[in-house]
Amino acid sequence: MDTHAEVLDYLRQQQGAMIALLEDLVLIESPSTDPGSQGAILARLKAEFEHVDYRVTRLPARNCGGHLYASPAARPRRQPTQLMIGHCDTVWPLGTLQTMPLVSDAKSMRGPGVYDMKAGLVQMIYALKTIDHLGLTPTVVPLCFINSDEEIGSRGSTRYLRGLAQCVERCLVLEPALGRSGKIKTARKGVGRFTVTVQGKSAHAGLDPGAGASAILELSHVIQKLFQLNDPEHGTSVNVGVIDGGIRPNMVAAESRAVVDVRVLTRAHGTRIEKAIHALVAETPGVSLRIEGAIGRPPMEPTEANQRLWKIAQTLGSELGLVLEQGTAGGGSDGNTTSLYSATLDGLGAVGDGAHANHEFIDTDSLGERCALLTLLLLAPSLDFQPRRRN
């Protein structure tokens, strides 16, 4: 039996065990905004890594439950390395299981975090278990990083990801697949957040309106200028998602505010949008603007290195009987960061739907195949790719 068939056969035998582990992980609620809830799932994952003789380090964090870094206990020296990346936090608050319970049937599993992205964590664990059970030896040493703040922007874990990505030749991100066809994410939009605060002057709206300078009037002009920055042809979206201002209807508003979401396909577009937003000037007399924010997550672009890795995945998928396609995701992930430094593939996790939605689910039949693809990627030879180091 060749390696491809052996891997797929073993993982099909492990289907029940994979589903059981996934059920356990989903039943451990781990919202990003409740760091105390994340200790249990991090402990469970740590134990799973230790079962395949991986040494696990718990990395502390201020605003979340911490992160896990795992590497082989008997790690060979001077061999190239690769990094599997996942997150154990979810967008769902504690108690969600009471209204959105874990439900399994012959074809699917539903529940908070099952798709985004606890199924990906199961694939990560079982790829290592497959390699261990079959006595296979990757020429590129697999390392693992799991954070618990991805859903809130990876603000604390990004420094670890940057450091690791500059030391490995490729990164495999276990975020869920793109769409029901299971596309691999070879590009992601960059994400920016901006806040525009308008400072005006208050006055009585009936007795002396001319003495005031309306921050709300100016904000209406700012909002129109922001929406004019949308450029669908080049994949740039600018959305004013939150506004507030004023105190009472009979007062000229002294202050107003808009929070803006920006998505861009390239770093060049991100730079252009940043400059355009920060260059906004007030046109209402007596009013000033304070503009804060930037493109926080740079786009994951289809670089030459990323495309080389994609071609390998596509070939391996074909050998497993999978018809894989690549696609671009509108949301960001940790792959946006690692792609700046090393070859990155994203969306290697489960096939399903409903990320951040009440109908979140995965196709359980695809778990073994997706895990087999990941396992074979871990066994793929070195790309002879040198990570890019940036200051």
pTM value?
0.92
Dist. CA 70–CA 147, nearest whole Å: 12
d(CA 289, CA 280): 8
Q: Report pLDDT for 318.
A: 96
- Cα gap 92→31, rounded to integer Å: 6
Count CB neighbours of 12 within 10 A. Answer: 14
Query: What pLDDT score was predicted for residue 227?
Result: 98
Domain ranges of the chain: 3-188+299-379, 190-297
pLDDT of residue 77: 82
CATH classification code of 190-297: 3.30.70.360
Average pLDDT score, the chain? 95
Sort residue 382 into left (φ over 0), alpha (ψ -120 to 50) or beta.
Answer: beta
* Residue 283 banded pLDDT, cuts 50, 70, 90: very high
Give residue-wise pLDDT tens across range 39-96.
Answer: 999 999 999 999 999 999 999 998 899 999 999 998 878 899 999 999 999 999 999 9
Is the pLDDT score of 383 beyond 90? no
Q: Helices (H) and strands (E) in the chain — how many of each?
A: 11, 18
Q: Which of 309, 334, 308, 369 is nearest to 163 (CA)?
A: 334
pLDDT band at 1 (very low <50, low <70, confident <90, very high): low
Q: Is it true that domain 3-188+299-379 has CATH number 3.40.640.10?
A: no
pLDDT at 156 over 60: yes
User: Which of 128-137, 187-196, 278-287, 380-389 has the lowest average pLDDT?
Assistant: 380-389
What pLDDT is stored for residue 390 in this prediction? 61
Q: What percent of the chain has pLDDT over 70?
A: 99
Three-state secondary structure readout of 153-181? CCCCCHHHHHHHHCCCCEEEECCCCECCC
Q: Nearest Cα to 379, choosing from 26, 17, 19, 132?
A: 132
Q: Residue 302, CB half-sphere, CA atoms under 13 Å: how many?
A: 12
